[in-house]
Chains A and B, each alone.
Chain A
Amino acid sequence: MEDVRLRVESLNVSFPNGGELTRAVRGVSFTLGKEKLAIVGESGSGKSTIGRSLLRLLPRKAVVSAERLEFDGIDILKASEPEMRSIRGKRISMILQDPKFSLNPVMRIGDQIAEAYIAHAKVGKKLAEEKALHMLEKVQIREPGRAYRLYPHEVSGGMGQRAMIAMMMIAEPEIIIADEPTSALDVSVREQVLEVLRELVDRSGIGLIFISHDLNLVRHFCDRVLVMYSGKVLEEVEARRLDDARHPYTRGLLDSLPSLAHRRAHLPTLVRDPAWLA
């Protein structure tokens, strides 16, 4: 595979928990190029922990080890803190589930984006404001001039998330880690946000790590899917061919969703097999 930006080889993350170590991520390996990679799993599967460990954003007590954790030739585990700061938010950005918690509540949305641009490109205020307006337009916010002057509590979840994406994109990152970016949004808004994300990623050749619990969403949106369970990647499939997934866990997850076309009185439930973690 060419143009690999990120290489992860047997990543392990553990948290000390009353004398014992809880293993949150167990020997996960993957690479990321110019593609949309999904990491799918249920709560507690360690999918968010992976995203955070790529930016070294885990709590200090976390024990992280990997044979390789490399971004563009930089060893993320060994990089100095100033080096990490030059990566975080600039070359690798993160979008979180709820924009309400990631936007500054006492600052106008536009100003926040402009400020991000000033920090990134070291330009004057005037130019940054123009750029911010342009970014708001780019994420398909209908009246960018009006949205610019709004405070985070005055916008809907979908618009907030798009503003968040605009802010991330302004630094022109090479990798975006999106942790459940649409889970807090309604169906109709979700499509719009995904569309914005899809277009940006496709056009600027960004590598996207899309962390989600929703197999069906991922199947249409991403290229490749890693299915995680209890910190382990059980299966890697092409998103288009998710229905051919072989692992009983993936099959079980797909099967346990209620469907409109195919109504059943009883939904099959997942039987977890300890052998999956062996």
Chain B
Amino acid sequence: MNTPKLLAENLTLDFGKGAEAHRVLRDVGFSVADGESFGLVGESGSGKTTVLRCIAGQYKHWTGSIRMDGKVLPKELTKERCRQIQMVFQDPYGSLHPKKTIHSALMEPLAIHQVPGDREGKVAEALESVGLDREFRWRYPHQLSGGQRQRVAIARALILDPRVLLLDEPTSALDVSIQAEILNLLAELRKSRGLTYILVSHDLGVVAHLCERMAVMQAGAILETLEAASLADIEPKAAYTKTLLDASREYGKARGGA
């Protein structure tokens, strides 16, 4: 009954071999319930994005286990796995093929998975579900603004109707006003589609906004797991978490007085 949607246990990953080996993940473990939104917070080099890429299937030489709905996920990128888990990247300028129209970017997953039926209709639908006009499909990425590109990237990730969406700093390359729009969109999509999110960010405010729970990572390990609702007043155990919290709380306090 209470099988977590995703359960990661003892994830360990080294880059390089022998004496040169560099451990980027140390025994990372967490569980995410169905429909939950789980955050990974940390600084650059903390391994938060690496965790995401292990779950996505980009890295294959990790040890430990990742279970989805109680079943062990194979390390190979099977088509079945791609239909279940999709990812949105940080840089909206780098995640869309510069020489392909939005249309062909969105058709690609449908063609790979040989989705039957009206594919053109599905593309238009996907665009509209992220708040873009269907006419956008004839544009090239360079004709779109950062926010529009990120919407396209979300549409592409959702077009195969996955259950889990991995979000790698989805708003950190965007202006704050655009960030608010994308965060709202992500919140809406989760609600209407019952998606499970894993969100990676360095911005505690963003994670707290979108997630119920979050893990704070440093140097490849999880320091502690926190409830978003309690962030405003808890006393964190790890010193690093405190630094992170102080930086974000200062902002909150200033606005609280407004």
Q: A262 contacts which chain B residues (CB < 8 A)?
A: 252, 255-256
Q: Per-residue CB proximity of B226-258 to A under 8 Å, as 1/0?
A: 001101100000001001110111111111111
Kindly state whether residue B187 has any CB partner on chain A within 8 Å.
yes
Assembly CA distance A64 to B205 (angstroms): 39
Question: Which chain B positions have C-beta within 8 A of A253?
Answer: 176-177
The interface residues of chain B lying within 8 Å CB-to-CB of A42 are: 175-178
Contacts A219-B254, A243-B254, A267-B184; A256 near B208 (Cβ below 8 A): no
Spot the interface stretch: A54-62, A145-153, A185-193.
A185-193
**CA of A120 to CA of B247, assembled, Å:** 38
Report yes or no: A256 in contact with B43, Cβ–Cβ below 8 A.
no
Q: Does B183 contact A (CB under 8 A)?
A: yes
Q: Find out whether the CB atom of A266 lies under 8 angstroms from the CB atom of B202.
A: no
Chain A residues with CB under 8 A of B176: 42, 213, 215, 253, 256-257
- Does B209 count as interface, using CB distance less than 8 angstroms? yes
Contact at A187–B208, with CB atoms within 8 Å?
no
- In the assembly, what is the distance between CA of A267 and CA of B206, in Å? 11
In whole angstroms, how far apart are the Cα atoms of A265 and B228 in the complex?
Answer: 13
Q: In the complex, which of the residues B44, B208, B240 contacts A260, with contact meaning CB atoms closer than 8 Å?
A: B208
Instruction: Decide if B181 is an interface residue (CB 8 Å cutoff).
Output: yes
Contact residue among B179, B228, B252 (Cβ-Cβ distance under 8 Å from A256): B179
Looking at the assembled complex, report how far the CB atom of B119 sits from the nearest CB atom of chain A, in whole angstroms.
Answer: 32
Query: Once the chains are docked, how many angstroms separate the CA of A42 from the CA of B244?
Result: 24
CA distance A219 to B184 in the complex (A): 26
Q: How far is the CA of A261 from the CA of B252 in the complex (A)?
A: 5
Task: Report whether B254 and A260 are in contact in the complex, using a CB–CB cutoff of 8 Å.
Answer: no
A261 touches B256 (CB 8 A): yes
In the complex, residue of chain B having the shortest beta-carbon distance to the beta carbon of A188: B243
B180 within 8 A of A: yes
**Which residues on the B side are within 8 Å of A263 (C-beta)?**
208-209, 228-229
Asked whether A259 is an interface residue with its Cβ less than 8 Å from the other chain, the reply is yes
- A253-B176, A260-B204, A263-B228 known; A269 vs B184 contact (CB < 8 Å): yes
A270 x B254 contact (CB < 8 A): no
Q: Which of A216, A252, A266 has the most CB of B within 10 A?
A: A216
A39 to B202, CA, bound (A): 24
Contact present for A259 and B181 (CB under 8 Å): no
Please determine whether A261 and B202 come into contact, CB atoms closer than 8 angstroms: no
The interface residues of chain B, by DSSP majority, are classed as: helix
Interface flag for B146 (CB, 8 Å): yes
Closest chain A CB from B209 CB (angstroms) = 3
Q: Are A257 and B254 in contact (CB under 8 A)?
A: no
Chain B residues whose C-beta falls within 8 Å of the C-beta of A266 in the assembled complex = 184, 187
- A residues near B245, Cβ cutoff 8 Å: 260
A213-B175, A267-B183 known; A258-B255 Cβ under 8 A: no
Contacting residues of chain A (223-278) with chain B, CB-CB under 8 angstroms: 242-243, 252-254, 256-270
A260 to B179, CA, bound (A): 16
Cβ A259 vs Cβ B247 within 8 A: no
- The yes or no answer to A203 lying at the interface (CB within 8 A) is no
CB-CB < 8 A to B178: which residues of A? 42
Q: Look across to chain B and name the residue whose beta carbon is closest to the beta carbon of A252.
A: B177
Instruction: Output the nearest chain A residue to B181 by Cβ-Cβ distance.
Output: A269
For B257, list chain A residues within 8 Å (CB): 243
When distances are taken between beta carbons in the complex, the residues of chain A under 8 Å from B252 are 259-262
Interface residues of A (CB under 8 A from B): 42-43, 157, 186-188, 190-191, 213, 215-216, 219-220, 242-243, 252-254, 256-270
Q: What are 27 pairs between A and B in contact, CB < 8 Å?
A: A187-B244, A187-B247, A188-B243, A213-B176, A215-B176, A243-B254, A253-B176, A253-B177, A254-B258, A257-B176, A258-B205, A258-B206, A258-B209, A259-B251, A259-B255, A260-B208, A260-B249, A261-B249, A261-B252, A261-B256, A262-B255, A263-B208, A263-B209, A263-B229, A267-B183, A267-B209, A269-B181
Binding site for A on B (CB under 8 A): 43-44, 146, 175-181, 183-184, 187, 202, 204-206, 208-209, 228-229, 231-232, 240, 243-245, 247-258
Top 9 A-B residue pairs of the complex, sorted by shortest distance between their CB atoms: A258-B209, A261-B252, A256-B180, A186-B43, A42-B175, A270-B177, A267-B180, A243-B258, A258-B205
14 more A-B residue pairs beyond the given contacts A254-B255, A267-B180, with a C-beta to C-beta distance below 8 A = A42-B177, A43-B146, A243-B255, A253-B177, A258-B180, A258-B183, A258-B208, A258-B209, A261-B232, A261-B252, A262-B255, A262-B256, A265-B187, A267-B209
